[in-house]
């Protein structure tokens, strides 16, 4: 099975693979850090800011993704017009402003506004990093690099709740936001001293509303791009329902207390293993083949998980829940990098706008899914299990539609 690792001309100027992967993972990890370090503090923040109930505290997580959906639509065209470095500089600046708003919040409304501003800003580094990767790699090579980046990136959700819990032991919850400021400064310094611009001026597209509409129309009407994007939305929506409710599930339903960060890290480790496996296997088998196998895997996982829920009245023993989720999240981890790479593949020089629309649509699709699923939480895991089953199946349907719309010549498995 012959594989081609295609790179663009600017790839000759790129950093070594190890440093590049570490740098891109750091830039994108601001998203995970801003979400997962907050999880142990949700109850404390809700109490301090007089939240009406636990679901209002969950908005600290879910509204972050809504803010990212809007931010990505801005930073996509901005990155294509002004360059990748400018997008990262502006994004980090806005992220700092949002973080300062959250630190000084006296009401839940102010906190949620700050989180949306934070999310809008962090979209800059995320979109620019995705565009930089697409500038340098395409096809299975991009999926391979994305998997290595995900492997490093996954350390953040593994460690962030532990770090957040540690901060709470010695300080108060506003100091978690101090951590965000430090990481943003270090990441920005590293990026601007080591990574050159990957979109030369002669390749930049001067912003034109007509061109924006034309490019957007091309992306939005590209059947394979939209199929993979909707599949990502389904997969991430079901996962986000778990993510935003994880603190309630493990500390509320299972009374895990301070063990919560370690349980969360264990489940995140499953996605890290999957990313490493995918990085090793994607050049051999191709991202489409691995994606098909993973879709079967998540569907079987969802069926078994729901059967277990029925056997234990909706709340299985903690060890069993962790074990079955660990297995299922392995297949979810394989899907994350591959679906995004397949959606980005046809977009070429419009990588910035493409990453923006793909990220924004998948977020806008996933947030309502998560809110809908979590609205049914009532002391059992039935809503989470059914959410997994329904939306994993829908993701499989979307991928099948995307594959049928993809010309044979674009199939990177051959």
Residues 252-282: tens digit of each pLDDT: 899 988 888 889 889 988 887 887 787 777 7
Does a structural domain hold residue 103?
yes
Predicted TM-score (pTM) of this structure: 0.73
Which of the two residues, 216 and 104, has the higher pLDDT score?
104
Tell me, what's the pLDDT at 143? 66
pLDDT per residue as tens digits for the range 334-367: 887 788 778 877 776 566 667 777 877 887 888 8
Do the domain assignments include residue 4? no
Model pLDDT, residue 122: 92
Average pLDDT, the chain: 83
Q: For residue 227, report the phi and psi dihedrals to the nearest 5 degrees.
A: -60, -50
* The predicted structure's pLDDT at residue 298: 95
CB 173 within 8 A of CB 2: no
Please say whether the beta carbons of 305 and 388 come within 8 A. Answer: yes
Determine, yes or no, domain membership for 9. no
Instruction: Give me the pLDDT at residue 139, please.
Output: 65
Q: And the tokens for 240?
A: 């986000």
Helix (H) or strand (E) segment spanning residue 152: helix 139-153
**Long-range contact set of residues 8-14: C-beta below 8 Å, sequence gap at least 24:** 8/135, 8/136, 8/137, 8/138, 10/135, 10/136, 10/198, 10/200, 11/136, 11/137, 13/196, 13/198, 14/136, 14/198
pLDDT, residue 351, reads 62
- Domains: count for the chain: 1
Class of residue 277 by CB neighbours under 10 A (exposed 0-12, middle 13-18, buried 19+) = middle
The reply to whether 6 falls in a domain is no
How far is it, in rounded angstroms, from Cα 234 to Cα 226? Answer: 12
Q: Which residues are bridge partners to 137 per DSSP?
A: 7
Rg for the chain, CA atoms, rounded:
20
Name the residue range of residue 246's domain. Answer: 15-201+208-410
For the ranges 144-153, 218-227, 338-347, 381-390, which has the lowest average pLDDT? 144-153
What local confidence, expressed as pLDDT, does residue 154 receive?
67
**Average of pLDDT values for 301-327?**
96
Asked which of 23-32, 183-192, 288-297 is least confident by mean pLDDT, the reply is 23-32
Number of other CB atoms surrounding residue 175 within 10 Å = 14
Q: What tokens were used for 102? A: 């959250």
Sequence-separated (6 or more) residues with CB below 8 Å from residue 9: none
d(CA 382, CA 385): 5
User: CB 210: neighbour CB atoms within 10 A?
Assistant: 7
Q: What is the pLDDT of residue 405?
A: 75
Q: What is the mean pLDDT of residues 84-108?
A: 93
Q: What CATH number did the domain enclosing 29 receive?
A: 1.20.1250.20
Q: Tens digits of per-residue pLDDT, 158-206? A: 788 888 889 888 888 999 999 999 999 999 999 998 888 877 777 776 7
Of the candidates 34, 36, 27, 31, the one whose C-alpha atom is nearest the C-alpha of residue 242 is: 36
Residue 383 lies in a domain: yes
Q: Are 127 and 358 in contact (CB under 8 A)?
A: no
| Domain-embedded: residue 10 | no
Query: In the prediction, which pLDDT does 3 show?
Result: 42
Q: Does residue 7 lie in a domain region?
A: no
Residue 219 in domain: yes
Token look-up 């601001």 returns 30
Q: How many CA atoms lie within 13 A of 134 on its CB side?
A: 28
The string of pLDDT tens digits covering residues 132-141 is: 887 777 666 6
Q: Select the highest-mean-pLDDT range: 22-31, 232-241, 274-283, 312-321.
A: 312-321
Reported as a pLDDT band with limits 50, 70 and 90, residue 10 is: very low
Q: How far apart are the first and last CA of the chain?
A: 7
């Amino acid at each position: 099975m012959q594989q081609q690792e295609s790179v663009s001309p600017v790839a000759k100027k790129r950093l070594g693979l190890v440093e590049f992967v570490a740098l891109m993972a750091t830039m994108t990890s601001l998203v995970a850090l801003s979400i997962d370090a907050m999880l142990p503090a949700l109850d404390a923040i809700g109490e301090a800011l007089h939240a009406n109930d636990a679901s209002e505290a969950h908005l600290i997580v879910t509204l972050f993704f809504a803010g990212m959906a809007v931010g990505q639509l801005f930073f996509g065209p901005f990155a294509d017009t002004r360059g990748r470095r400018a997008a990262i500089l502006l994004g980090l600046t806005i992220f700092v402003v949002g973080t300062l708003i959250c630190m000084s919040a006296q009401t839940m409304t102010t906190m949620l506004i700050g989180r949306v501003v934070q999310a809008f800003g962090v979209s800059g580094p995320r979109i620019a990093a995705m565009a930089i990767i697409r500038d340098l790699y395409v096809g299975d090579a991009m999926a391979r690099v994305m998997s290595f980046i995900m492997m490093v990136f996954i350390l953040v959700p593994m460690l962030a709740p532990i770090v957040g819990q540690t901060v709470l032991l010695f300080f108060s919850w506003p100091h978690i936001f101090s951590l965000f400021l430090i990481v943003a400064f270090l990441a920005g310094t590293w990026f601007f001293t080591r990574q050159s611009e990957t979109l030369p001026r002669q390749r930049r597209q001067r912003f034109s509303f007509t061109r924006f509409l034309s490019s957007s129309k091309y992306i939005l009407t590209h059947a394979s791009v939209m199929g993979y994007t909707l599949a990502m939305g389904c997969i991430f929506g079901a996962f986000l329902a778990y993510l935003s409710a994880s603190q309630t599930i493990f500390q509320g339903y299972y009374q895990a207390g301070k063990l919560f960060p370690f349980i969360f890290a264990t489940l995140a480790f499953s996605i890290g293993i999957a990313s490493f496996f995918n990085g090793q296997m994607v050049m051999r088998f191709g991202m489409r083949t691995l994606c098909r196998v993973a879709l079967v895997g998540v569907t079987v996982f969802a069926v078994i998980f729901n059967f277990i829920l029925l056997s234990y009245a909706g709340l299985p023993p903690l060890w069993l829940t962790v074990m079955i989720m660990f297995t299922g999240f392995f297949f979810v981890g394989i899907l994350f990098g591959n679906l995004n790479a397949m959606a980005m593949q046809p977009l070429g020089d419009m990588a910035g706008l493409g990453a923006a629309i793909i990220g924004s649509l998948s977020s806008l699709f996933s947030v309502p899914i998560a809110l809908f699923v979590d609205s049914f939480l009532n002391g059992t895991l039935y809503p989470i299990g059914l959410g997994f089953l329904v939306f994993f199946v829908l993701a499989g349907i979307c991928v099948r539609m995307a594959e049928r719309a993809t010309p044979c010549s674009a199939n990177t498995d051959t």
